[in-house]
Amino acid sequence: MKKSAVILILFLAACTSAGVVGDKPENIIPYEYPVPAPSKEAAARHVVLIGFDGWGAYSLPRADMPTVKGMIAGGASTLKAKSVLPTNSWPNWSALFFGAPPEVHGYREEGPFFESAVRDKYGFFPGLFAMVAGERPELSTAFFYEWSGMGHFCPPGAAGLVEHIPDLAADKTAVERIAEYLRETKPNLAVIIFDEPDHTGHSHRHGSPAYYGKLKELDSYAALFEQAVRDGGYYEDTVFIFTADHGGFLWGHGFNTPSQRQIPLIIFGKNIKKGFTIPGPVVIYDIAPTIAEIFQLTVPPVWTGKALTEVFE
Ligand SMILES: [Zn+2]
């Protein structure tokens, strides 16, 4: 056996015994969602979280996004929220849904290569949908997403409705169907994640006229969702959140530069400060704890994100 092979085997053995490459069943720490007494009233009964993949904060000043800008003016926001590294989709959307960076939750590029030692009843690291379902099963939830990878961030059975809609950003009929769902079903938590403007950034360049055109189109979808919530009669009891997973530069992303790493975070609605700039620092994994704060849920102790309590009136 070659010396290098021996070293590799010793390395893998050391990693396994340290719990790095997938833990043995006896090493897994179970996490149970507490069912808290409803001591404090929720800040709002409804949250609509809308994500735009590859939406760099640098684009906001020039972007034709009247819906989003209206919520910036009337809500709490920052254009200096941070992605985690590398500035790619998988580590960042997972950080959003699991309230922690990949180093903690174990989901890295292209899949859960490094499994978490802490798992909930679904066998997942504690996450947003499972927390809501576990602590407040009476709250209804819906998850619509365009990129297939997003399906890994919601355990089967944790959300009331999960729908993968390929090409959602180019499918106005599907967008209108989601709006109709918001209007008629009135979910307590609705999460809608588009895989644009990232595709346009890769094909035409981030910050190109085509990229800004796509942002304008996405904003028109946001307007449909806002109107659906109005028509559903629960606008006054809703918090809207807009964010992204990372930005971009030229035809890509993945590096630690402001245009790739700084993402917008906009929080607007009931009990949220108006015209308020969130002082920061804010990281993408702070969003799930902030939603927990809105619903008055107990954040899993293994999360590293913190609720942005400064946004509340
Ligand atoms: Zn992305």
Q: Which letter does DSSP use for residue 272 in this model?
A: B
pLDDT of residue 14: 43
The CA distance from 4 to 198, in Å, is: 41
Of 48, 45, 51, give the one whose Cα is nearest residue 265: 51
Ligand 1 centre to CA of 18 (Å) is 31
Of 26, 24, 191, 32, give the one whose Cα is nearest residue 122: 32
Ligand 1 centre to CA of 306 (Å) is 22
Ligand 1 centre to CA of 230 (Å) is 30
| pTM, full prediction | 0.91
Beta partners for residue 39, in sequence order: none
Ligand 1 centre to CA of 61 (Å) is 21
> Are 182 and 225 a contacting pair, CB within 8 Å?
yes
Neighbours of 275 (CB within 10 A): 10
The CA distance from 251 to 227, in Å, is: 34
Ligand 1 centre to CA of 256 (Å) is 14
Ligand 1 centre to CA of 84 (Å) is 12
Task: Say which amino acid occupies 294.
Answer: I
Residue 197 has pLDDT above 60, yes or no: yes
Ligand 1 centre to CA of 236 (Å) is 31
Ligand 1 centre to CA of 218 (Å) is 15
More confident residue, 20 or 311: 311
Residue 9 has pLDDT above 60, yes or no: no
Ligand 1 centre to CA of 199 (Å) is 9
- How many domains does the structure of the chain reveal? 1
The CATH number given to whatever domain includes residue 9 is: 3.40.720.10
Place of tokens 């580590």: 91
Kindly give the pairing relationship between strand 262-269 and strand 46-52.
unpaired
pLDDT category of residue 39 using cuts at 50, 70 and 90: low
Domain that holds residue 170: 3-311
Ligand 1 centre to CA of 89 (Å) is 3
Ligand 1 centre to CA of 198 (Å) is 6
Give the residue-averaged pLDDT of 74-101. Answer: 96
The CA distance from 298 to 35, in Å, is: 9
Tokens of 118: 């802490």
Tokens of 81: 């929220």
Ligand 1 centre to CA of 54 (Å) is 5
